[in-house]
Amino acid sequence: MATVVLFAIGSLMPFPAVAVDDQQHPDRLVEALAGHEWQLFVRNGVSWWGTAALLVFLLAMDRHLAVRVPSHSLLPGLVRAGGAATCAGLFLGYGFLAAIGGSVASDLPASTIAAVYATGDGLAYGAWTPLGLVTAAVAVSGIRGYGVPRWLGYVSAGFTILFAGLAFFPFVSWFPGLVWVLVASVGLLLDGRSGGRAPRHGEESETSTG
């Protein structure tokens, strides 16, 4: 939940308007960013907080599944892989964008600043795509009854298909990524309050035969 709130705050903060055409002309890009250094620092700092909150959420999801799926399952590994790729990309992307704040007023060539900006902007938007590995793990867990609400499993399956398609259009993956984080957070919260706690797969038979 904190992830969605922080990224929403970051996206609503004032930010210099950079047209797509400006990114293709380094001098115009530097001119558009000049005088907005503190906006860059603050906006990307809030986005870093959002990324940190996302990392905590994904670690909690990993732990949630690890004690509920079969011990040989690859599902927690999918959560770790997708979470690591997404969070690493976001940290790097917003780091590059924050570095722009200290570079605009420097003597660096405009072409260098434009290259750093393009790299950071691409990572900040496109790094959400690997979250599809996490949604796939949650989908399988929910559908098979491994401690995730079944409805959340089916919803996550839909998001997994969406992320697979967004591999070809990664720059719009941030929006469905945030929507899924919100839905999954609410789903697990409601499931926890209702007392939903599925044992690790196989515990039922061990208990009944013991």
Block means of pLDDT (10 residues each) for the chain, length 210 residues? 70 59 71 77 86 93 90 92 96 88 75 86 90 96 92 97 93 92 90 59 43
Cα 196–chain centre separation: 26
The span from the CA of 180 to the CA of 118, in Å, is 26
pLDDT of residue 42: 83
Q: How far is CA 108 from CA 15, 24, 26, 49, 96, in A?
A: 22, 17, 11, 28, 15
DSSP per-residue codes, 75-138: HHHHHHHHHHHHHHHHHHHHHHHHHHHHHTTSS--HHHHHHHHHHHHHHHHHTTTTHHHHHHHH
The span from the CA of 72 to the CA of 65, in Å, is 12
Predicted structure pTM score:
0.82
Q: Which residue has the tokens 């298909």?
A: 161
Write the DSSP symbol of residue 207.
H
Closest residue by Cα to residue 129 from 83, 76, 98: 83
Closest residue by Cα to residue 188 from 144, 142, 157, 154: 142
